[in-house]
Amino acid sequence: MANERVKFLDTTLRDGEQSAGIGMTGDEKMEIARQLARLKVDIIEAGFAASSPGDFQAVTDIARQVKGPIIASLARAVPNDIDQAWAAVKHSEAPRIHVFLSSSDIHVMHQLRKNREEVMDMAVAMVSRAKGYCPDVEFSPMDATRTNPEYLFQMLAAVIKAGATTINIADTVGYAIPSAFAQLVRDIRAKVPGADKVTISVHCHNDLGLAVSNSLAAVEAGARQVEGCINGIGERAGNASLEEIIMALDTRKDLFKVDIGVDTTQIYPSSRLVSRITGMSVQANKAVVGENAFRHASGIHQDGVLKDRSTYEVMRPERVGVPGSSLVLGKLSGRAGLQARLEALGYKLSRDEVSKVFESFKALADKKREVTDRDLEILMDEEKRVAGEPASYTLQHVQFVGGDGIPTATVRLTGPKGETLSDACTGNGPVDAVCKAIDRVVGASGKLVDFNVQAVTEGLDSIGTVTVRVEKGGNIYTGRGASTDIIVASAKAYLSAVNRFLAADEAATLPAVGTTPD
Ligand code: KIV
Ligand code: ZN
């Protein structure tokens, strides 16, 4: 008998984006969506269309342009959200509306301030409304794991009758324990009329560190859709790590006996991309995609792996797309060597693009003895960032004088009309002085609320990536910059955030587009 298939819904662009401090541009979301299509997830939850004009546009663009997976938008159980979700996803060849509504008494009484009957009526009415637009409707009872089971079963039966095709059991606050969660899935299958006609999905948060275990227990109990995010990003402690669930089902197929449609070799490129775009680094010992996931340190392990890799590896690095042994690139390397390495890392470049990157590569190789894969990723990211960003201002030069005197920074920028602008400022430290000097040049200032430096490679000549979050007018803007000089990287990162808030200010003065269903 053929195995059943488990589908994956990736919500990196929706729940993942809800991680504290993450804000992605439309272009960045599109880039992730395209990568998720290469990964062959079954459903991409592209956003929450009604939440903002930016999200509406991002979901619309992804629905129009990304082919392969189903494209879903989240919607609260209110008419306008459903209408907006449909207006955005209807452009997809395979659209889905995902309606959610709280079901636990804690949420129903304290957050919604309604009673169970009223909430039940809302759920049914809004699933019917969604069904009027779209054949594929998912319904999520929010906080399902803290919901009275009998009420949960009644609600699920009612929304199935109203047309839901997927029912998603949300462990919204990461409260579930694998054995109890699996039992809940079994009870739903046994007690909810119509449950055998729809897909049972699970959506687990990681507050107790159990999101992946709960998801896998649910699959064993019969769930056939799993939701999660790349690198496990998401609200609070995050969502279930999609790559861990995928690799558990793949590696232990003997046990789970289910098929998946994912191209596992796209896992590592997906993880790197999400980490770079969100600025959320992946811990070195993270399962499947961490830097140490396939490194063997102890002598006994090394000896075993050299004789036969299966002695200490349950999956092969190639299976998740980790590129093979790193060829060392340096200042004597040529265009062909660079191109070959970039291709191994998953970048497909035209001859012109290679020539452009080659210049930056040479400049970097002059400063660094070895240019590693991580350096190349940063280089590519910088190229793409600079090309795709709303760049009113670009950095020409930054100089800093510190020591035990007064920290002073001078910056020279190219302005929106190509003019050269410069100014200097003192500050209480190098980064503060640089940001203030930039503020003076552009005539606007944001509040630096987060500043994160990451050394990309080991050694004193390593590239540092700086990610900043800048608050302006109640919104958070992210900026990234990379350089072998940390002050230069900081200036680039801050300027990138400044360009973003200047572009948003400008957009806000234009009439809003695309927020009403057509
Ligand atoms: O965690 C949650 O309950 C959600 C729902 C919207 C599915 O993200
Ligand atoms: Zn969630």
Chain centroid to CA 145: 25
Cα 298 to averaged position of ligand 2 atoms, centre (Å): 39
Model confidence over 394-403: pLDDT tens digits?
Answer: 999 999 998 7
Residue type, 189: R
Q: Which SS3 state, helix, strand or coil, does residue 312 take?
A: coil
**Structure tokens that stand for 349 in this block:** 């470049």
Helices (H), 3-112: 26-39, 53-65, 79-89, 105
Helices (H), 368-442: 373-388, 430-442
Report the DSSP beta bridge partners of residue 4: 258
| Cα gap 511→367, rounded to integer Å | 47
Maximum C-alpha span of the chain: 77
Q: Is 15 in the pocket of ligand 1 (CB under 6 A)?
A: yes
pLDDT value, residue 512? 41
Q: Summarize the confidence of residues 225-240 as an average pLDDT.
A: 97
CA distances from 53 to 19, 31, 34, 514, 515 (A): 19, 19, 21, 7, 6
Cα 120 to averaged position of ligand 1 atoms, centre (Å): 17
DSSP element (H, E) containing 171: strand 166-171
Whether 295 contacts 326, CB under 8 Å: no
- Of 65, 20, 69, 63, residue with least CA distance to 42: 69
Whether 361 contacts 341, CB under 8 Å: no
- Closest residue to atom 1 of ligand 1, CA basis: 172
- Closest residue to atom 8 of ligand 1, CA basis: 15
| Cα gap 139→124, rounded to integer Å | 10
Q: Summarize the confidence of residues 72-100 as an average pLDDT.
A: 98
| Cα gap 160→197, rounded to integer Å | 9
Residue 299 — very low, low, confident or very high, per pLDDT cuts 50/70/90?
A: confident
For CA atoms 388, 389, 393, 395, the dihedral sign is negative
On the question of pLDDT at 105 being above 60, the answer is yes
Report the DSSP beta bridge partners of residue 411: 398, 423
Report the DSSP beta bridge partners of residue 470: 448, 477
11 CA closest ligand 1 atom index: 8
Whether 246 contacts 222, CB under 8 Å: no
Considering the chain, what is the average pLDDT of its residues? 90
Q: Summarize the confidence of residues 363-370 as an average pLDDT.
A: 84
Q: Is 72 in the pocket of ligand 1 (CB under 6 A)?
A: no
> Is beta strand 258-259 parallel, antiparallel or unpaired with respect to 475-483?
unpaired
| Cα gap 315→436, rounded to integer Å | 50
pLDDT value, residue 464? 81
What secondary structure does DSSP assign to 243-273, as a single string?
A: HHHHHHHHHTHHHH-EE----GGGHHHHHHH
On the question of pLDDT at 95 being above 90, the answer is yes
The residues near 386 (Cβ < 8 Å, ≥ 6 apart) are 394
Q: Could you give the dihedral angle defined by the CA atoms of residues 205, 207, 211 and 213, in that order, rounded to the nearest 10 degrees?
A: -160
On the question of pLDDT at 457 being above 80, the answer is no
Cα 235 to averaged position of ligand 2 atoms, centre (Å): 7
Q: Structure pTM?
A: 0.80
Cα 37 to averaged position of ligand 1 atoms, centre (Å): 22
For CA atoms 19, 21, 23, 24, the dihedral sign is negative
Q: Summarize the confidence of residues 119-144 as an average pLDDT.
A: 98
Model confidence over 211-223: pLDDT tens digits?
Answer: 999 999 999 999 9
Q: Is 14 in the pocket of ligand 1 (CB under 6 A)?
A: no
Q: Is 139 in the pocket of ligand 1 (CB under 6 A)?
A: no
Closest-approaching ligand to the CA atom of 169: 1
Chain centroid to CA 389: 18
| Chain position carrying tokens 């997927």 | 166
| Cα gap 122→238, rounded to integer Å | 28
Pocket test for ligand 1, best of 43, 142, 215 (most atoms within 8 A of CB): 142
Among 194-203, 334-343, 388-397, 506-515, name the most confident range: 194-203
Cα 140 to averaged position of ligand 1 atoms, centre (Å): 7
| Cα gap 515→518, rounded to integer Å | 9
Q: Is 170 in the pocket of ligand 1 (CB under 6 A)?
A: yes
**Structure tokens that stand for 323 in this block:** 């590129």
Cα 256 to averaged position of ligand 2 atoms, centre (Å): 24
The residues near 46 (Cβ < 8 Å, ≥ 6 apart) are 13, 14, 29, 33, 58, 59, 62, 63, 66, 71, 72, 73, 88, 89
Closest-approaching ligand to the CA atom of 176: 1
Q: Is 140 in the pocket of ligand 1 (CB under 6 A)?
A: yes
Residue 386 — very low, low, confident or very high, per pLDDT cuts 50/70/90?
A: low
Cα 317 to averaged position of ligand 2 atoms, centre (Å): 30
Q: Is 172 in the pocket of ligand 1 (CB under 6 A)?
A: yes
Q: Is 173 in the pocket of ligand 1 (CB under 6 A)?
A: no
Q: Which SS3 state, helix, strand or coil, does residue 17 take?
A: helix
- Closest residue to atom 4 of ligand 1, CA basis: 172
DSSP 308: -
Model confidence over 12-56: pLDDT tens digits?
Answer: 999 999 887 777 889 999 999 999 999 999 999 999 999 999 999
| Cα gap 282→270, rounded to integer Å | 12
DSSP 165: S
170 CA closest ligand 1 atom index: 3
| Cα gap 321→191, rounded to integer Å | 42
CA distances from 44 to 36, 148, 201 (A): 7, 30, 14
- Closest residue to atom 2 of ligand 1, CA basis: 172
pLDDT value, residue 262? 98
The length of the chain in residues reads: 518
Q: Which SS3 state, helix, strand or coil, does residue 393 take?
A: coil
142 CA closest ligand 1 atom index: 3
**Structure tokens that stand for 41 in this block:** 């997830």
Q: Is 104 in the pocket of ligand 1 (CB under 6 A)?
A: no
Q: Is 153 in the pocket of ligand 1 (CB under 6 A)?
A: no
The residues near 387 (Cβ < 8 Å, ≥ 6 apart) are none
Model confidence over 312-342: pLDDT tens digits?
Answer: 889 999 999 987 655 568 888 888 888 888 8
| Cα gap 240→245, rounded to integer Å | 8
The residues near 103 (Cβ < 8 Å, ≥ 6 apart) are 119, 141, 142, 143, 144, 147, 151, 152, 155
Better pLDDT: 40 or 377: 40
Model confidence over 260-274: pLDDT tens digits?
Answer: 999 999 999 999 899
Q: Is 203 in the pocket of ligand 1 (CB under 6 A)?
A: yes
DSSP 283: P
